[in-house]
Structure 1
Amino acid sequence: MATDQVDPHEVERAAAATWPASTVRSEAGWLLRHCGVLDRKRSNSALPPAAVDDPAAAAERVERFYAGRGARPVVQVSPLEAHRELDEFLAGRGYAAVARTDAMVAGTADVLARAVAREFAVRLDAGPHDGWFAAGAAAGRPVEPGLAAVRAPARFAIAFAGRVPVGVGLFALAGRWCGVYCMATAAGWRRRGAAGTLLRAGARWAAEAGATRMFLQVEEDNPGAALLYERAGFARSHGYHYRVR
């Protein structure tokens, strides 16, 4: 799938729709998000509209929202390529840049076309359970119980080698998009196909539900994960980072 056919703003709105936040308020095109059950920047940050004409007024709006909740203001500057002026303004206002990340996208059919590692089986559940949380912890990536607040149709996936859980993932739907989250593989099972098998199981479920595209996020300091996703059919859509005051 050619990335020039993808609107980064559409990807970010799909990401906002598939990731939980206790409060989501729309003001002048901004999505202002706050969450009492997840300590994640995506759940606790402001997402700008396609165009920001007045960065100063926008910053004041964001700061009022978070001050009213006793939280520090955070802006997800995404897509970064479209918001250079806003980014520079926030830097000058004392906001530090953290968590530089690439958003990657793929056609669901492209992910399904990849080969599956036959030594792994995948179980998909409609909600999280103790086994899924335990599998995440065993893979070195403990996942928060607050993920039970995911509002979108979702599947919580575990990859097994025999009866041993070796990896986890989370797939959530918003329109034609399927978001991929919480991917992790146990140390002794990496680079053997477990992650790719999880992705294809999620893609199969997404395709059956009518989703034609998938997206995920990978931080820039994790090139190994980016290469894995490229091999699974994903390509970079855009970049972003968070500005934290």
Structure 2
Amino acid sequence: MSACETSELERAAVATWPATTVVRQDGWLLRHCDRLRRRRSNSALPLGSSADPDAAIEVVERFYAERSSPPAVQVSPWEEHSELDSLLAERGYRADAPTVIMRTDREALLHSCPPQDFEVLLDPSPGSRWLDAVAAVGGRPEPGLDRAPAPVAFATAVHAENPVGVGMFAVSDDWCGLYGMHTAPEWRRRGVAASLIRAGVGWASAERVFLQVETANAVARSRYESLGFTRAHTYHYRIQ
């Protein structure tokens, strides 16, 4: 990927995930959320390099201290912020949740996801139907996702009127982000994820698609690679 496309993808990832407080300050995007405890809603994202990295990190520490939260930095893309990563490590920040961002094109993805025998229901908000489906397939319901900015769709794959998989699809510019993909254990490797993706990406009409998967989840990464996703860049968090 070019540096320009990497920057576009980063902006889309920020725009498609909710946080109650988002502040641009001194080269950071500072995010905090009192409803969603996910790291990406409660971490600082570097927007560029700093002439005084130590002073920049102190900006992060003050921001989260004011909110009684541990300072956390999403070092993304890691390939562009390795010096920041080293400095955070020297200051005692532990590394957490190494993640790969993967991307593909819409048409190639739809070709890789042929129609399956699952009905997919799309809701514009995470109402009780979707939250109940998340719990039914073994996921973790998060009501705070009602803050996800539109356009967004909450998808439920159904077989014989029973939920078998869920996902969330959010659009920013020409990117569609896939989040919260989860399939009931007894329905894995039976086309549920492909059905969800086909419905969600078809709804979105964005030409480019991305997702984020933790590096340790080799099974999921392999599955997404089989659908045509390739590595865009990596990141991890540094938490004090």
Are the aligned partners of 2:113 and 2:197 in contact in 1 as well (CA < 8 Å)? no
1:95-143 superposed Cα distances (whole Å, 9 cap, x missing partner): 0000010001111111111242522111111111112111111222112
Structure 1 residue 29, shift from structure 2 partner = 3.2
Amino acid at match of 2:180: C
- The verdict on how the C-alpha distance between 1:64 and 1:212 changes in structure 2, with shifts beyond 3 A counting, is same
Are the aligned partners of 2:27 and 2:50 in contact in 1 as well (CA < 8 Å)? no
> Residue 226 in 1 paired to residue 226 in 2?
no
Q: How many residues of Structure 1 are paired with residues of Structure 2 in the alignment?
A: 240
Are the aligned partners of 2:20 and 2:32 in contact in 1 as well (CA < 8 Å)? yes
- Other-structure match for 1:165: 163
- The verdict on how the C-alpha distance between 1:123 and 1:5 changes in structure 2, with shifts beyond 3 A counting, is farther
> Residue 216 in 1 paired to residue 211 in 2?
yes
Uncovered stretches (5+) of structure 1, i.e. residues with no partner: none
- Other-structure match for 2:239: 244
Are the aligned partners of 1:128 and 1:156 in contact in 2 as well (CA < 8 Å)? yes
Identity of aligned residues (%): 52
1:130-170 superposed Cα distances (whole Å, 9 cap, x missing partner): 12111111222112111111123100000011211100000
CA distance in 2, matches of 1:98, 1:151: 27
SS in 2 for 1:36: coil
Are the aligned partners of 1:218 and 1:226 in contact in 2 as well (CA < 8 Å)? yes
Pairing 1:192-207 to 2, within 5 Å after superposition:
192-207=190-205
- Other-structure match for 1:60: 58
Amino acid at match of 2:230: A
Pairing 1:109-188 to 2, within 5 Å after superposition:
109-188=107-186
- Other-structure match for 2:106: 108
Are the aligned partners of 1:159 and 1:166 in contact in 2 as well (CA < 8 Å)? yes
1:8-32 superposed Cα distances (whole Å, 9 cap, x missing partner): 2321211111111000000133110
CA distance in 2, matches of 1:93, 1:115: 46
CA distance in 1, matches of 2:227, 2:135: 24
Uncovered stretches (5+) of structure 2, i.e. residues with no partner: none
SS in 2 for 1:70: coil
Output the TM-score relative to the length of structure 2.
0.96
Are the aligned partners of 1:166 and 1:189 in contact in 2 as well (CA < 8 Å)? yes
SS in 2 for 1:199: helix
Amino acid at match of 1:155: A
Amino acid at match of 2:227: A
- Other-structure match for 1:36: 34
The root-mean-square deviation of aligned C-alpha atoms, in Å, is: 1.4
Runs of 4+ in structure 1 deviating by more than 6 angstroms, as ranges, are none
Structure 1 residue 6, shift from structure 2 partner = 6.5
SS in 2 for 1:131: helix
> Residue 86 in 1 paired to residue 84 in 2?
yes
Structure 1 residue 51, shift from structure 2 partner = 2.8
- Other-structure match for 1:45: 43
CA distance in 2, matches of 1:50, 1:214: 24
CA distance in 2, matches of 1:198, 1:73: 35
Structure 1 residue 234, shift from structure 2 partner = 1.0
Are the aligned partners of 2:73 and 2:239 in contact in 1 as well (CA < 8 Å)? yes
